[in-house]
């Protein structure tokens, strides 16, 4: 029987973005290269980062959560993470949030020994409604299964509304930019036309004066 709960679950499945853990290896170095995983996040969106770092001797993994604004805001920084680490931040701008890792090779380890050394990182990033623990909310507020699904649906719908509002603002900003650019192009075209006309008139009078000095015309 197709119940209301089943219908809500289907809607949640269709509306929810697919999230999957990212798994990669990171080689060590005395001065390591930073590896960042970027995801778009709306203003005030909750971002939950779960990093599971595999074992690796003579290596130190540092994590840093930043955004893509010109200021490159650092939300959180933690050194020497091992095993499972769970971090939570709130986005401060309509930009991308980056989770960056560096794998430092210990000082006493020679660089040539690090060629076959790596550490494996399982990374899972949940943003917005995906980052909310609805089971904890249900237990705290004594919500039924249907009420919990409704709460999830409310969070997802809010995300969709925020996304539409963000796209609308971007469209308005782009439209204003287009209007301003078109106006500048028109002004430049008129300036060019007037300049050419003035130059042509000046050339005519200049040539007439030159020919008169040479007694070529009266």
Which residues lie across from 59 on neighbouring strands? Answer: 105
User: H helices within the chain, ranges in order?
Assistant: 4-15, 134-141, 145-213
Of residues 41, 64, 32, 68, the one with CA closest to residue 51: 64
Q: Convert the pLDDT of each residue in 6-42 to its tens digit.
A: 444 444 444 444 454 689 999 999 889 999 999 888 8
Q: Convert the pLDDT of each residue in 59-113 to its tens digit.
A: 999 999 999 888 888 999 999 999 999 998 988 888 889 999 999 998 888 877 7
pTM of the model: 0.62
Which pLDDT band, with edges at 50, 70 and 90, does 218 fall under? low
Domain edges within the chain: 19-132
Please check the confidence at residue 156 and state whether its pLDDT lies above 80.
no
Structure tokens at 77: 């920084």
CATH architecture of 19-132: Sandwich (2.60)
Give the strands of the sheet with 95-105, arranged side by side: 35-41, 95-105, 59-67, 74-78
**What is the average per-residue pLDDT within 175-196?**
93
Please check the confidence at residue 1 and state whether its pLDDT lies above 50.
no
As a whole number of angstroms, the distance between CA 51 and CA 11 comes to 29
């Amino acid at each position: 029987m197709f119940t209301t709960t089943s219908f809500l679950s289907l809607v949640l499945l269709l509306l929810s973005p697919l999230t999957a853990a990212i798994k990669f290896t990171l080689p060590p170095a005395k001065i390591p290269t930073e590896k960042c995983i970027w995801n778009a996040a709306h203003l005030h969106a909750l971002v939950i980062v779960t990093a599971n770092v595999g074992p690796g001797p003579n290596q130190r993994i540092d994590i840093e959560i930043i955004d893509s604004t010109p200021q490159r805001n650092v939300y959180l920084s933690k050194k020497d993470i091992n095993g499972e680490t769970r971090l939570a931040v709130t986005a401060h701008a309509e930009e991308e949030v980056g989770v960056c890792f560096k794998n430092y090779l210990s000082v006493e380890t020679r660089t040539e020994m690090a060629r076959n050394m790596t550490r494996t990182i399982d990374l899972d990033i949940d943003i917005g409604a995906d980052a909310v623990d609805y089971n904890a909310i249900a237990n705290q507020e004594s919500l039924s299964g249907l009420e919990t699904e409704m709460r999830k649906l409310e969070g997802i719908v809010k995300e969709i509304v925020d996304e539409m509002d963000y796209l609308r603002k971007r469209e308005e900003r782009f439209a204003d930019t287009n209007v301003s650019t078109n106006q500048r192009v028109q002004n430049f075209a008129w300036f060019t036309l007037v300049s050419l006309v003035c130059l042509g008139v000046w050339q005519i009078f200049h040539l007439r004066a030159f020919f008169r000095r040479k007694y070529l015309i009266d």
